[in-house]
């Protein structure tokens, strides 16, 4: 079994690679590689798409890698390989992002990526640091993660999904903020599992074992 982490020059690849490799060793889940080669993606059993920065920049960076998005779409949409998007990698799953204009996303989770607007003006944006998860839906990748467990966030935008059933977890930051989305063989987290210690390592282990 091979899990690939996509390298398109946008993501905290070192931390993600170490965390995924650690859990792959501990659970016997196969190998984890970081790659910018679409052929490796086409042969992968699982796909992880990280992302750090602005929505439009991440999309442009991904599309600049010749054949990469097509390879991801083939494995995820056509062939049903498990997919995990992290931070902006999760946001790209939406229909469009509204950061610095309108940028089309993948359209896998219908909805928009909008700026967080806390009801309390004292709450800062970006939403940065540890926050307690809530409204956790039953899902194999979230198994063992309970309301009140903390995860690490760094973001100013979040996904507003058209279909409530696609929202798998939330946090509160002056109102509900989307923390995880998913459907079928794909899931995305706004938080960084590679920085979320116990909660994040459990999620990574669950993802490496997931057979949707």
pLDDT digits (tens, 9 = 90+) for 45-71: 999 999 999 999 999 999 999 999 999
Q: Are 145 and 200 in contact (CB under 8 A)?
A: no
**Can you tell me the distance from the alpha carbon of 197 to that of 135, in angstroms, rounded to the nearest whole number?**
20
- For residue 12, what pLDDT is reported? 72
Contact 46, 3 (CB under 8 A): yes
Q: Note the pLDDT of residue 121.
A: 87
Phi, psi of 199 (to 5 degrees): -60, -45
Question: Which positions are catalytic?
Answer: 87, 192, 194
Stretches where the chain sits below pLDDT 50 are none
For residue 28, give every residue at least 6 positions away whose Cβ sits within 8 Å of its Cβ, in sequence order, or none. Answer: none
> Is 72 in contact with 47 (CB distance < 8 Å)?
yes
The two three-digit tokens of residue 211, written as one number: 């057979």
pLDDT value of residue 82: 98
Distance separating alpha carbons of residues 12 and 90, to the nearest angstrom:
14
């Amino acid at each position: 079994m091979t899990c690939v982490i996509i390298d398109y020059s946008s993501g905290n690849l070192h931390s993600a690679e170490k965390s995924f490799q650690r859990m792959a060793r501990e659970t016997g889940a196969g190998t984890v590689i970081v790659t910018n080669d679409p052929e490796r993606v086409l042969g992968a059993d699982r796909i992880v798409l990280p992302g750090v920065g602005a929505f439009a920049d991440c999309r442009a960076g991904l599309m600049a890698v010749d054949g990469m998005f097509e390879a991801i779409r083939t494995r995820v949409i056509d062939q049903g390989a498990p997919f995990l998007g992290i931070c902006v990698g999760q946001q790209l799953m939406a229909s469009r992002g509204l950061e610095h204009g309108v940028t089309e996303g993948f359209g896998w989770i219908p909805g928009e990526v909008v700026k967080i607007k806390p009801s309390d003006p004292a709450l800062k944006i970006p939403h940065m640091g540890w926050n307690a998860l809530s409204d956790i839906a039953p899902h194999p990748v979230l198994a063992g993660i309970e309301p009140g467990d903390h995860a690490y966030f760094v973001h100013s935008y979040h996904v507003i999904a058209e279909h409530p059933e696609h929202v798998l977890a939330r946090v509160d930051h002056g109102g509900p903020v989307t923390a995880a989305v998913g459907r079928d063989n794909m899931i995305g987290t706004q938080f960084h599992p590679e920085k979320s210690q116990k909660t994040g390592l459990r999620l990574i282990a669950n993802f490496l074992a997931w057979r949707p």
